[in-house]
Amino acid sequence: MDNEPCLGCQVGDKWRKKRGSLIMALHEIQGAKGYVDWKDATDLSQTMGIPLARIYEVLTFYNFFKLVAPGKAVISVCTGTACYLKGNDKVLEKFKSELKIKEGESTPDGLFHLQCVRCVGCCGLAPVCVVNGKTYGRMTPEQVPGILNEWREKFKEEA
């Protein structure tokens, strides 16, 4: 058994007495780890006295929550109206083909995670993608390989 503190237990203790706090507890776990794994969900269930089925229902209903660790670079492709009208569907397809993954998946090397988001609030820059908080505006499919290479280089430098 590892000696790591039980994150699900700690978060559950903090939120257990606050009514309607399950989503906040799940956000806290995901904020700490980047996802909510089965062990943390089980520990949270036991600590808060909430059925595991209810926790799983919340985790799978809201697409914000991740059940597996995302890649190091989370690519968020905006699918809002302005971005869609300006061709972000083609940008999304280029990310999929370059990374050889579907939306909601991570690359096998763990570097990239591809997701769609409803709106990032930069409609004037449409079409828009955000990678780990860095916004790329007026995107074209031709820019995708350069963005991926930029992040690959960044991770090489950090290693």
Q: What is the pLDDT of residues 98-118, one digit of tens each?
A: 999 999 899 999 999 999 998
Interval 121-148 mean pLDDT? 96
Residue with tokens 């996802």: 35
Q: Is residue 3 scored above 70 in pLDDT?
A: no
Q: Is residue 9 scored above 50 in pLDDT?
A: yes
Of 2.60.40.1180, 3.40.30.10, 3.40.50.300, 3.40.50.10470, the CATH number of 73-158 is: 3.40.30.10
Any idea where the domains of the chain sit in the sequence? Answer: 7-61, 73-158
User: Does the predicted TM-score (pTM) go above 0.75?
Assistant: no
Q: What letter represents residue 54's amino acid? A: R
